Amino acid sequence: MCGRFVMARAIGDLMAAAGVDNAHFEDLHPDYNVAPTKDIPVVVEHFQNPRDASTEWQRNLYMARWGLVPAWAKDLSFGQRTFNARAETVIEKPSFRAAVKSRRAAIPVDGYYEWLAPQTKGERKQPYYVSPKDGSPIFFAGLYEWWKDPSADNDAPWVLSTTILTGASPETGSEPKILDELAGLHDRLPLPMSTAMMREWLSAGEVTKDEAAHLVDAVVAGAYDVAAEWEMYPVDPMVGSVHNNGSQLIDPLDPNGGQGTLV
How distant, in Å, are the alpha carbons of 8, 14, 242, 261, 263 from that of 247?
9, 18, 14, 11, 9
Instruction: Let me know if residue 256 belongs to a domain.
Output: no
Supply the pLDDT for residue 204. Answer: 75
Instruction: Let me know if residue 255 belongs to a domain.
Output: no
Closest by CA to 5, choosing from 169, 123, 166, 144, is: 166
pLDDT at 199 over 70: yes
Instruction: Let me know if residue 81 belongs to a domain.
Output: yes
Contact (Cβ atoms closer than 8 angstroms) between residue 165 and residue 191: yes
Q: Using one digit for the tens of pLDDT, what is the confidence trace for 132-173?
A: 999 999 999 999 999 998 888 888 899 999 999 999 999 999
Supply the pLDDT for residue 154. Answer: 81
Cα 59–Cα 160–Cα 136 angle in degrees, nearest 5: 50
Number of domains in the chain: 1
Distance CA 203, CA 60 (A): 12
Distance CA 126, CA 47 (A): 44
Instruction: Let me know if residue 260 belongs to a domain.
Output: no
How distant, in Å, are the alpha carbons of 19, 45, 50, 51, 171 from that of 54?
22, 15, 10, 9, 46
For residue 76, the enclosing domain spans 5-250
Instruction: Let me know if residue 263 belongs to a domain.
Output: no
CATH of the domain at 205: 3.90.1680.10
Supply the pLDDT for residue 263. Answer: 28
Annotated catalytic residues are: 2, 114
Q: How many residues does the chain have?
A: 263
Contact (Cβ atoms closer than 8 angstroms) between residue 189 and residue 178: no
Q: Using one digit for the tens of pLDDT, what is the confidence trace for 51-109?
A: 666 678 899 999 999 999 999 999 999 999 999 999 999 999 999 999 999 999 999 99
Instruction: Let me know if residue 257 belongs to a domain.
Output: no
